Structure 1
Amino acid sequence: MSSAARPDLAAVPETMLWTLWQRAVEARRPDALLHDPKAVELVDRIDYPFAERFGTSGFQSQLQALRVGCFDREVSDFLAREPRGTVVCLGEGLETQYWRVDNGRAHWLTVDLPEAVALREELLPPGPRQRYLAADATDLAAWADEVDRDRAVLITAEGLLMYLPPDRVKALIADCADRFPGGSLVLDAVPRWFARLTRTGRMRTATYQAPAMPWAMDARERDKLRTASPAVAAVRDVRPAAARGLLGALLPFALTAPPLATRRPSVTVLDFAAPAR
C-alpha cells in the first residue's frame, strides 16, 4: 500500500495524529483492549515519525483505549436502539470509530475544520452512508440542517471540547440541546489539574508539547453541565471497562475513591429533553 504524504498540521490538529498513534500502539498488542486494524493501517501508510514525535508508552496507549472504548460502547448502544440513526462526530480528526462499530445501516456525519477534513478524505474516503463536512463544529448554523431530523441522533465530541474556551463549550451544549431534542451528546473532559499543566507548558516530552487546554472539568463537576441549557434532561457518567496490569488493579479505586475518583478524566452523556407533544 502506498504511503500518504506527510501531514503538516498545527498544534491542535496534530493531536489527531497523537490519538491515532496511541490507538495503533494498543491495537498491535496481542492482549489489546481495542481492536482497531484501520488505525494500524493508517500509521503504516502515513509518512510521519510517530514514535520519534510522540514516544511509545503502553500506559498511555491503554488509557487512550479506555477512553475510546467508552465512546464506542455508547455509539454501539445507540445503534442497537436506533439501527438507522445518525451519528454526528464533531472534531473527529482521524478517528476510525466507523470501522469499529458501524452496523451497516446507520448514517454518519463528520464535522471538522477544513484541513482535518481534507486529510480525512485523502486517508479515509467516505462510504455511501458517510459524509464529511468542512465547518466549525461549534457553529451549528453551518451543519445542523444537514442532519435528517426524521432519524434519531447521537452527537459525539471526543477529544474536542478541552481545546475550546469555556463559553464556547457551554454554547455548543446549549445549541445541540436546542437543535436536537430527544438526542444525546457524548463528550469527554480532562481534569482541571491536567489542563493547568498544559496551559503552563508543563505537559511535554523531549519532542512533543501538548497544546493548551482552556476548558476542563473534574469528574465530580459533571452535573454542572445541566446549567448549559434547561433542555439537558439527564447527565450520566460513562466508566471504562476493565484494564490490564497495574492500571487494571488501580482502576476500581480510581473510579470510586477520592481524590482520584473526583479529579479524573471523564466521559459523560447528556440526554436532551424530547420535544413536547
Structure 2
Amino acid sequence: MSSGERPELGEVPETALWTLWYRAVEARRPDAVLHDPKAVELVDRIDFPFADRFGTSGTQAQLQALRASCFDREVADFLDREPRGTVVSLGEGLETQYWRVDNGRARWLGVDLPEAVALRERLLPPGPRRRHLAADATDLSWADEVDHSRAVLISAQGLLMYLPPMQVRALIAGCAERLPGATFLLDAVPRWFSHLTLTGRMRSHAYQPPPMPWAMDADERGKLRTAGPAVAAVRDVRPTGGRGLVGALLPLALAVPPFATRRPSVVALEFSAR
C-alpha cells in the first residue's frame, strides 16, 4: 500500500478502482496485451489495498485489458477519420484511455458523478483539450457542453450494466436525438452474469461487484436499434489477440454456441445525421 491518495468511493464508483487495478496488473507484464503505463502510475500513487480487495488474477487482468482494447481500437479509428473530433467518456472513473490513444488534436470530455470527478481531478488534472464534468451521465444536460460542429464519439465503458434497462434505452435514445451523427460505444454483460450479481453470488477474491440490472446476450445486440428511431446501425466490436489459454480459446468463444451468444460484448451504435 502506498502513502498517496486515499479514495473513499461508493459502491458503483469503486468499480473504477477495480478496472484500474486489473489494467495495471496486465500492463506490468512484458507480454501485455494492453500497454497502460498511466494505470501503473496511478496504482502506485493510490493508497488502497488493491491486491487484498480485488485479487491478482492474470486471467481477469487479461480479459479487462482485451475489453479496453476494443474501446481503444474504435476510438483510435474514429480519431483517424476525425482528427479534431470530440470523445465523450460517460462514467469515466479512472480510465486512462486518453494517454493510450490521444492524437494531440482531439477534445475529450469526461462525465461522472461528483465524488468520482473529485478523485479524478486530484489524480489526473484536466488539460487544455481534456475536461471533466461532474454530472449524472443519464442527465443529458452534459450534451450542452459538446461542440456540435465537431464529430462526436460517446464511450460508455463499464457504465450501462449498473443502470435499470429503461434508463439505458432512454440514454441511448437521448444521445441519438441530441448528438446526431455520433457514434456510441458500449459494453454489456451477458444475462447469466447479471443474474449472479443480482443474487449476490458473483465474487472476485474479497470483492463483490455491485448489482448489474442491465444485461444483453451477444446475439441480442440488434435490439439496441429499437431504443430510438435515430439509432441507424449496430455493430459488434470483437476482441482480438490474447495470450496463452485466453488467446487460444478466444476464437472459439466468439464463434461456437453457447459461448458466442452468452459472452460479454462491446457494441458500436451509429446515430443517423439530421
Verify same fold: TM over 0.5. yes
TM-score category of the 2 structures, normalised to the smaller one: over 0.9
Give the structure-2-normalised TM-score: 0.98
Letter paired with 2:113: L
Q: Which residue of 2 aligns with 1:81?
A: 81
> Which residue identity does 2:182 align to in structure 1?
G
Q: Does 157-166 or 242-251 show the bigger shift? A: 242-251
Alignment of 1:256-267 (within 5 A): 256-267=255-266
What does residue 173 of structure 1 align with? 172
Counterpart secondary structure, 1:87:
strand
Aligned to 1:6: 6
1:207 is displaced (CA, Å) by: 1.6
Distance in 2 of aligned mates of 1:127 and 1:52: 33
Residue 198, structure 1, aligned to residue 197, structure 2:
yes
Alignment of 1:51-66 (within 5 A): 51-66=51-66
Partners of 2:109 and 2:130 within 8 A in 1: yes
Q: Which amino acid aligns with 1:178?
A: E
Distance 2:4 2:83 in 1: 34
Q: Distance in 2 between matches of 1:47 and 1:71?
A: 28
Identity %: 78
Q: Which amino acid aligns with 2:180?
A: P
Post-superposition shift, 1:241? 0.9
Quote the residue 2:103 is aligned against.
103
Letter aligned with residue 57 of structure 2: S
- Matched with 1:68 is 68
Q: Secondary structure at the match of 2:241?
A: coil
Render the CA deviation track for 1:131-154: whole Å, top value 9, x for unaligned: 10000001112x111100110000
Give the aligned partner of residue 229 of structure 1: 228
Whether contact under 8 Å (2:54, 2:205) holds in the other structure is: no
Q: Matched residue of 1:261: which SS?
A: coil
How far is 1:4 from its partner? 2.9
Take 2:144 and 2:45, find their aligned partners in 1: how far apart are those partners?
35
Structure 1 ranges of 4+ moved more than 3 A: none
Answer yes or no: is the 8 Å Cα contact 1:182–1:272 preserved in 2.
Answer: yes
Q: How many pairs were matched up?
A: 273
- Counterpart-to-counterpart distance in 2, 1:92 and 1:239: 21
Is the alpha carbon distance of 1:45 and 1:235 closer, same or farther for their aligned partners in structure 2, counting shifts above 3 Å?
A: same
Q: For 2:167 and 2:149, how far apart are their aligned partners in 1?
A: 28
TM-score by length of 1: 0.97
Matched AA of 1:180: L
Q: Secondary structure at the match of 2:192?
A: helix
CA contact (8 A) 1:4 1:123 kept: no
* Partner amino acid, structure 2, of 1:230: P
**What is the rounded CA distance, in whole Å, between the counterparts of 2:239 and 2:263 in structure 1?**
12
Question: Which letter does structure 1 place at the counterpart of 2:254?
Answer: L
Query: Which has the larger displacement, 158-167 or 6-15?
Result: 6-15
Give 1:91-130 correspondences, 5 Å limit. Answer: 91-130=91-130
Q: Deviations over 1:58-77 (max 9, x none)?
A: 00000001100000000000
In structure 1, runs of 5+ residues without a counterpart are none
Task: Tell me the secondary structure at the aligned position of residue 76 of structure 2.
Answer: helix
Q: For the structure 1 residues 114 and 34, does the alpha-carbon distance in structure 2 shift closer, same or farther, using more than 3 Å as the test?
A: same
What is the CA RMSD across the aligned residues, in angstroms?
A: 0.9
> Does the 8 A contact of 2:25 with 2:61 survive in 1?
yes
CA distance in 1, matches of 2:108, 2:205: 38
Q: Are the aligned partners of 2:13 and 2:116 in contact in 1 as well (CA < 8 Å)?
A: yes
Paired AA for residue 42 in structure 2: L
Structure 2 unaligned segments of length 5 or more: list them.
none
Structure 2 residue matching 1:11: 3-state secondary structure:
coil
Q: Deviations over 1:23-75 (max 9, x none)?
A: 00000001000000000000000000000000000000000011000000000
CA offsets 1:213-233 (integer angstroms, 9 cap, x no match):
010000000000000011111
SS in 1 for 2:115: helix
Aligned residue number for residue 155 of structure 2: 156
Confirm or deny that 1:22 pairs with 2:11.
Answer: no
**CA distance in 1: counterparts of 2:159 and 2:3, whole angstroms:** 28
